[in-house]
Amino acid sequence: MLKLLGSLFVLGGGVLARYFQAAERRRELDTLSDLLWALRRMAEEIRMARTPMPLLLERLSQGCGEETERFFQTVSAAVQQGESLGTAWRHTAAALPLSGPSAAALAELGDGLHGDEENICKGISLAIYSMAQDMEEQTRRRPEEAKRATALCLSGAALLVILLI
């Protein structure tokens, strides 16, 4: 009876590990989607309304997901405290749950957020393109990776159960 209970706990741990992994992937895609929406809105605001950057950062934090909202609020607060926009942007972008290409594109955008309207919009468009490509690739690979991760977690848990019995 004790072995059966232990086996159930080990299998439950495998299922729980897979659940947390799937939740992390979902969180990354949600954050990426929110960032893409916010960056598109940012480009429109700069191009059409010519909104000043500190005010724009505060506006962008409204109506986004939790991670994106925190990102823009942190950057805005750092800029208001006197830190340069590029430095604040890069440091805050490093804390987001993004994969390599998206994280690099977002961090690189911090250096392009100064100068005239045209250069800023070009930098934003380049970041949007790179991040959208990454999101499309992740979405395309997601079903296959989910199958592999599920098989790995459950097989590892089953192997551990067999070894313990």
Lowest mean pLDDT among 33-42, 53-62, 94-103, 145-154: 53-62
Distance CA 20, CA 164 (A): 24
How many domains would you assign to the chain?
1
Domain hosting residue 11, numbered range: 2-164
Task: List, for residues 61-73, the tens digit of each pLDDT value.
Answer: 887 888 999 999 9
Place of tokens 């495998």: 14
Angle of CA points 20, 25, 13, to nearest 5° = 15
Beta strands in 35-160 (DSSP E): none
Give me the pLDDT at residue 73, please: 92
Task: List, for residues 119-134, the tens digit of each pLDDT value.
Answer: 889 999 999 999 999 9
pTM: 0.83
Distance CA 59, CA 41 (A): 10
Distance CA 19, CA 73 (A): 30
Determine contact, residues 147/73, Cβ cutoff 8 Å: no
Distances (CA, A) of 68 to 4, 23, 33, 140, 155: 44, 17, 10, 23, 36
